[in-house]
Amino acid sequence: MFGALAALRGGWAPSQYRPAIEILGGGVLPDFTLMDQNGRPFTLSSVKGKAVIIFFGYTSCPDVCPLVLSKFKEAIQRLGPDAERVAFIFVTVDPERDTPEVLKRFVERFSEKIIALSGSPHEVEAVLRLYNIMAAKVPTGKGGHYLMNHYALVMGADRNHVLRLALSPDMNVEEYVQGAKWLLTR
């Protein structure tokens, strides 16, 4: 009783947040190994104990990918110290162009806390298959240039890496922030 009264006086109340896209019965995210933007091997299991917000995209993307990463940036800022308990991960679907160096320059525009991953085309394709992520080159007809058609939802997993929610690029950043906080309570 006293705790509830103190909570009401202090303005704190238990969160009533429910994800807009909650995934019930989600499995554990499969482990994988790719190279991070600093040229070091990264495994998903290396961030065990952290919630995971993971997005598959590419640095030459004209719209969706920069939008999602800008939401990652703002969510990281708004989470404050809690951001250290969340792994924000960007996996390229375009390993031919997205080398670790290219990824590093790209994510530095958003936040140094974002983990950007690439590998050989074969390695990245294996991860895409593991996660059932669709990605395909779309030639633009201009000297071999192309865009990538790709899956655009962001996946969110709890601290045990159990898939719990999805976020869309058009959701407001508050959904990303509250989703991350919710994952930390699971």
For the entire predicted model, the pTM comes to 0.90
> Would 121 be classed as within a structural domain?
yes
> Would 68 be classed as within a structural domain?
yes
> Would 159 be classed as within a structural domain?
yes
d(CA 59, CA 93): 9
> Would 57 be classed as within a structural domain?
yes
What integer pLDDT is reported at residue 15 of this predicted model? 62
What integer pLDDT is reported at residue 13 of this predicted model? 40
What integer pLDDT is reported at residue 144 of this predicted model? 82
As beta bridge partners, residue 89 has 54, 115
Count of structural domains within the chain: 1
> Would 143 be classed as within a structural domain?
yes
> Would 9 be classed as within a structural domain?
no
**Which amino acid is located at 155 in the chain?**
M
d(CA 143, CA 160): 45
d(CA 61, CA 35): 20
pLDDT in single tens digits along all 186 residues of the chain: 333 333 333 333 446 899 999 999 889 999 999 999 999 999 999 999 999 999 999 999 999 999 999 999 999 999 999 999 999 999 999 999 999 999 999 999 999 999 999 999 999 999 999 999 999 999 988 788 899 999 999 999 999 999 999 999 999 999 999 999 999 998
Domain that holds residue 30: 17-184
> Would 6 be classed as within a structural domain?
no
For residue 131, how many other CB atoms are within 10 A of its CB?
16
Burial string for 167-177 (b: 16+ CB within 10 Å, else e) reads bebebebebbb
- The CATH number of the domain holding residue 160 is 3.40.30.10
> Would 34 be classed as within a structural domain?
yes
DSSP for 81-141, please give it. GGGGGEEEEEEES-TTT--HHHHHHHHHTT-TTEEEEE--HHHHHHHHHHTT--EEEEE-S
